[in-house]
Amino acid sequence: MLSDVMEDYLKAIYTLQTEDGDPVATSAIAEYLDVTPPTVTSMVEKLEERELVEREKYKGVELTPEGETVALEVLRHHRLLEAYLNEHLDYAWSEVHDEADRLEHHISEEFERRVAEALGDPEVDPHGDPIPNADLAPIEDDDTTPLSDHGEGETVVVARVSDRDDEELRYLSEAGVAPGTRLEVVDVAPFGMVTVRIRGGEAAPDDRREQSLPESVAASIRVRSGDSETATPESGVGGA
């Protein structure tokens, strides 16, 4: 049986591997999990002994098929829990990540099934991240790009935002930036600020207001072309 920490490492490696498509450096895992590189090296050795990862010196770490399946199951638990906490228990989207982290290792498959059924088997969590399906098929690459890659005059639709920074999520919630929000890039300053015009949505379609975002925040927002018909529907971001 795997420990919670082992599952956390597998989930982290899957997330980082999916983002870059390359073997994951131990330094990247250490930064992601906020631990030291020697701690990562020690854990990777244990995971390698269990044939959950493969490590190539000077290149990095990759999941084996078995390790990927474990990571996908933990991700499915995590993102279903985030959706359930947000939709049924009135947690704000800035609160669900840490709560789901604590619960994801300890729910049964029956509980997972019932949560998915109660939610209508959603495809994305409150932050727009794709939820692995019940068969734990690998998540397909999408067509999203960072908001920070777009220039003045471009219109985009928010697909997903990073769930790892509570303050950042509260900031975006107050600004009205969530999956499904349509943005027009108004200005990209040379010193790292991206100003966008936010459309008011169905409730206030004529509302147009501008918001300046630090480049680091803009880089964490994944978007699709404003002409895309596959933009993620707007998710609930309310809560207590």
Domain ranges of the chain: 4-63, 145-225
**Beta bridge pairs of residue 195:** 187, 212
Q: Hey, what CATH class is 145-225 in?
A: mainly beta
Q: Hey, what CATH class is 4-63 in?
A: mainly alpha
Q: Three-state SS for 14? A: helix
**CB neighbours (10 Å) of residue 150?**
21
pLDDT tens column, 24-54: 999 999 999 999 999 999 999 999 999 999 9
Of 143, 201, 156, give the one whose Cα is nearest residue 175: 201
- Using pLDDT thresholds of 50, 70 and 90, give the confidence band for residue 21: confident
pLDDT of 66? 97
Say whether pLDDT at 184 is over 80.
yes
- What does the H/E/C string look like for 52-119? CEEEECCCEEEECHHHHHHHHHHHHHHHHHHHHHHHHCCCCCCCHHHHHHHHCCCCCHHHHHHHHHHH
pLDDT tens column, 117-156: 999 999 999 999 999 999 999 998 888 999 999 999 999 9
Report the alpha-carbon distance of residue 103 to residue 99 in Å, rounded: 6
